[in-house]
Amino acid sequence: MSDKSFYLDTVRELVKLVKDNDLGEITVVADGDKKITIKGKVNVAQTAPVQVQPAAPVQAAAAQDEQTKAETAGNEVKAPIVGTFYAAPSPDSEPFVKVGSKVKKGDTIFIIESMKVMSEVQSEFDGEVKKILVNSGDPVDFDQTLMVIG
């Protein structure tokens, strides 16, 4: 396979990743000097890269989802992508929301870091944060319930 074919396939995969996950932008840096940015439709906040933690096993996430459904009632906010959950824009900052916070549709409620790209996640619901099911820095799986807004 030629280098051009390899790079074209990589670009296609990145475009698909941005499109499938409604990301605003993804930037990949390779070999220190090669950089590509693919832009989508949603705004994405970028901050300094953070160390990535391995994802939790899928079984644990499924068990947590079942327990969550039994314990809480309201609108579930699920992880749009696999990555690391961050409650605040930086370690020194206050969290975007806390239990009891009032949110409106479109408010930023957390960040998920995936492949060194920080993606702000906005609320799809108006209401009050009833429960936050993960801690800042926890790995999360796609479609895992992270928060309940009622």
Higher-pLDDT residue of 66 and 146 is 146
Q: What percentage of the chain exceeds 90 in pLDDT? A: 48
Q: What is the pLDDT of residues 95-105, one digit of tens each?
A: 999 999 999 99
Residue 144 domain boundaries: 58-149
Instruction: Kindly list the distances between the CA atom of residue 64 and the CA atoms of 24, 53, 59, in Å, as whole numbers in the listed order.
Output: 29, 19, 9
Residue 126 pLDDT grade (very low, low, confident, very high; cuts 50, 70, 90)? very high
Rounded to an integer, what distance in angstroms lies between the CA atom of residue 133 and that of residue 43? 25
Structurally, how many domains does the chain consist of?
2
> Is residue 141 located within the same domain as residue 71?
yes
- In DSSP notation, 14-73 reads HHHHHHHTT-SEEEEEETTTEEEEEE-SS-----S--PPPPPPPHHHHHHHHHHHHHH--
Residue 69: pLDDT over 60: no
What does pTM read for this prediction?
0.53
Q: Are residues 129 and 89 in the same domain?
A: yes
- Higher-pLDDT residue of 138 and 45 is 138
Q: What is the pLDDT of residue 6?
A: 54
Q: Is residue 62 part of a domain?
A: yes
Residue 88 lies inside a defined structural domain of this protein:
yes
| Model confidence band, residue 20 (pLDDT cutoffs 50, 70, 90) | confident
Domain presence at residue 46? no
112 CB-near residues (< 8 Å, 6+ apart): 79, 80, 81, 83, 84, 85, 86, 118, 119, 121, 140
Q: Is 69 in the same domain as 142?
A: yes
